[in-house]
């Protein structure tokens, strides 16, 4: 197939492939330069794998980082690795090889993994907000509240919550009959995107999808905002300005990660409801920002803004320091 070129009539006329395949979409308007677009995307994938793997190695190899804050950072790095592996290889096959066809079962599996890791990311960001809340609100009890056992329990709860909520997604979609047009509007399979192609009543699927979003990203974002409200209240009560800044500085990297993860879906939600004249490329761009950029930038942000991680990185690359 030519990069980004697949006539709609071909998609609609191939009855054999129509039963078992969907067709992904590259970024509209860039069909002639897909090969060039693949270069930064490939660099993002390599950066994500290298950056998050390095975070995991640093936390594991440095005994002074064996603390709850860095355990949660390791959970975030693992989640980002999973999110990258679930999205970027598919995107790269479109832009590098021009291959847009994806088997139905593979598409459903991708839906499960993308949304599961997305919920995991949201859950980890919530636990990291709780970690900062305890560290600033009750610093003397930090070690007794966030013990290794409780950290492990929180990690297990994140996995169970994410998998448990997303297991029904591919099962429900697999049971639906689909129309002749199997052209998806994104570069990877997403639950609402596939659901729209069904030739059947999807009210139950829509209600399920809304429930998952509200009970995960919606609830988590509200709890994170509440946590930071209490954190700022505590910080403002500290008399010393230097202590104020020191306490807030420990939250900067987490705030950056939260904004990077939550702003794109909030913008997508606003566009779906109010942006009737928005360019078709805008939702895809926001989707890329939501799923592709956090795994790349989270390791960078935490390395720059977290002194202990930064010093360990410097010792790794400059042994004489």
Dihedral sign of CA atoms 108, 38, 122, 81 in order: positive
The predicted structure's pLDDT at residue 14: 41
Give the pTM. Answer: 0.89
- Domain boundaries, given as residue ranges, for the chain: 8-317
Residues 6+ apart with CB under 8 A from 87: 114, 188, 291, 292
- How confident is the model over 29-41, as a mean pLDDT? 83
The predicted structure's pLDDT at residue 79: 97
Report the CATH architecture of 8-317. Up-down Bundle (1.20)
Report H helices in the chain: 8-13, 15-18, 34-61, 68-97, 104-137, 142-145, 148-166, 168-174, 191-195, 203-213, 219-236, 241-249, 252-274, 281-291, 294-305, 307-317
The predicted structure's pLDDT at residue 267: 86
DSSP 300-316: HHHHHH-HHHHHHHHHH
CA distances from 321 to 49, 285, 304, 308 (A): 26, 42, 17, 14
The pLDDT confidence band at residue 17, using thresholds 50, 70 and 90, is very low
């Amino acid at each position: 197939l030519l990069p980004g070129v697949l006539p709609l009539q071909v998609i609609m006329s191939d009855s054999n492939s129509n039963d078992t395949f969907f067709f992904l979409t590259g970024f509209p308007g860039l069909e002639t330069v897909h090969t060039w677009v693949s270069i930064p995307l490939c660099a993002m994938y390599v950066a994500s794998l290298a950056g998050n793997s390095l975070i995991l190695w640093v936390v594991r190899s440095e005994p002074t980082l064996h603390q709850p804050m860095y355990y949660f950072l390791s959970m975030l790095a693992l989640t980002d690795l999973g999110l990258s592996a679930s999205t970027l290889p598919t995107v790269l096959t479109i832009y590098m090889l021009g291959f847009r066809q994806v088997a139905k079962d593979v598409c459903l599996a991708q839906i499960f993994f993308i949304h599961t890791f997305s919920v995991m990311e949201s859950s980890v960001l919530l636990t990291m907000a709780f970690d900062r809340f305890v560290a600033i609100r009750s610093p003397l009890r930090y070690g007794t509240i966030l013990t290794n056992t409780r950290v492990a329990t929180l990690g297990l709860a994140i996995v169970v919550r994410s998998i448990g909520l997303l297991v029904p997604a591919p099962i429900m979609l697999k049971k639906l009959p689909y129309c002749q047009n199997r052209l998806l509007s994104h570069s990877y399979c997403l639950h609402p995107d596939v659901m729209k192609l069904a030739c059947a009543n999807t009210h139950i699927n829509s209600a399920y999808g809304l429930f998952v979003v509200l009970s995960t990203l919606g609830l988590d974002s509200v709890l994170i905002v509440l946590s930071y409200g209490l954190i700022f209240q505590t910080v403002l009560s500290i008399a010393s300005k230097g202590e104020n800044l020191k306490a807030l500085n420990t939250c900067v990297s987490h705030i950056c990660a939260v904004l990077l993860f939550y702003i794109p879906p909030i913008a997508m939600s606003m566009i779906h409801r109010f942006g009737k004249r928005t360019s078709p490329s805008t939702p895809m761009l926001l989707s890329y920002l939501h799923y592709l950029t956090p795994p790349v930038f989270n390791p960078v942000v935490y390395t720059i803004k977290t002194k202990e991680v930064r010093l360990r990185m410097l010792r790794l690359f400059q042994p004489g320091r």
